[in-house]
Amino acid sequence: DTAVSQTPKYLVTQMGNDKSIKCEQNLGHDTMYWYKQDSKKFLKIMFSYNNKELIINETVPNRFSPKSPDKAHLNLHINSLELGDSAVYFCASSQAGQGNQPQHFGDGTRLSIL
Amino acid sequence: DAKTTQPNSMESNEEEPVHLPCNHSTISGTDYIHWYRQLPSQGPEYVIHGLTSNVNNRMASLAIAEDRKSSTLILHRATLRDAAVYYCILRGPTGTASKLTFGTGTRLQVTL
């Protein structure tokens, strides 16, 4: 039973294309996140949704558009892909709380731009 | 979010205890101390968290200094599977806007 699942696991595409990454969680959490891990292994928050509403948007280019159709899903669409978008993208979920709720992560989507 | 400082890397022998330190001198009274780890080619994994008292779970123990300006993650018997990057993160009571701010972490190497 995978708690947080992302698809696809690998994504290789050309510069300028548009692609989507899907994320689903079966933990009953109300908050979901997207993180980006660059080539230097630095992990950084991109977006967070709580009950389908955007609550964190960390100065991400507007080529990145998250969508949350329901509490269990948070998808990430990327337009006009650039070389610098090559990274591993992690989805996570948690229950909203007072800083004491753990986040559960997926295994990542490895995006490579040719 | 308040900043944490961790050694870049540590080494341990298998079957021995490992103590991973973290300094957080600017911690506020309501910040929780969280530890996550990231195994190679995997997503971060929650390990443990605490506020003031020491905590134990099946994965590890967390020892928190009395003044809360430092903490130590303790792996009681390191195995090869514990080789990972360990992140010490402070999380405040931000309600719904509760992101994780990752630093560079400590890379733990475990040898036979």
Interface contact B5, partner A, CB < 8 A: no
Q: Is B20 on the interface with A (CB under 8 A)?
A: no
Q: Is A50 on the interface with B (CB under 8 A)?
A: yes
User: Who among B31, B36, B43 is closest to A106 (CB)?
Assistant: B43
Mutation choice for B interface testing from A27, A43, A110 by most B CBs within 10 A: A43
* pLDDT confidence band for B93 (50 / 70 / 90): confident
> Hey, what are B76's tokens?
């009681």
Q: How far, in Å, CA of B37 to CA of B46, rounded?
A: 7
Strand ranges (E), B31-96 = 32-38, 45-50, 55-56, 61-64, 70-75, 84-91
Q: Is there a contact between B102 and A44 if contact means CB atoms under 8 Å apart?
A: yes
Q: CB–CB of A90 and B43 under 8 A? A: yes
Residue numbers in B near A96 (CB within 8 A):
95-96, 98
* B97/A contact by beta carbon, under 8 A: yes
Chain A neighbors of B42, CB-CB under 8 A? 107-108
**Which pLDDT score, from 0 to 100, does residue B13 have?**
96
- Taking residues A43-70, report their average pLDDT: 90
pLDDT at B94: 66
Is B73 in contact with B20 (CB distance < 8 Å)? yes
Determine the 3-state secondary structure of B80 from DSSP: helix
Which pLDDT value is given to residue A93?
A: 95
The yes-or-no verdict on residue B16 having pLDDT over 80 is: yes
The region, left, alpha or beta by phi > 0 then psi within -120 to 50, assigned to residue A52 is: left
Distance CA B37, CA B19 (A): 14
What pLDDT band is residue A10 in, cutting at 50, 70 and 90? very high
Work out the percent of chain B whose per-residue pLDDT is above 70: 95
Tell me the pLDDT tens digit for each residue of A68-85.
Answer: 999 999 999 999 999 999
Quote the pLDDT of residue B56: 96
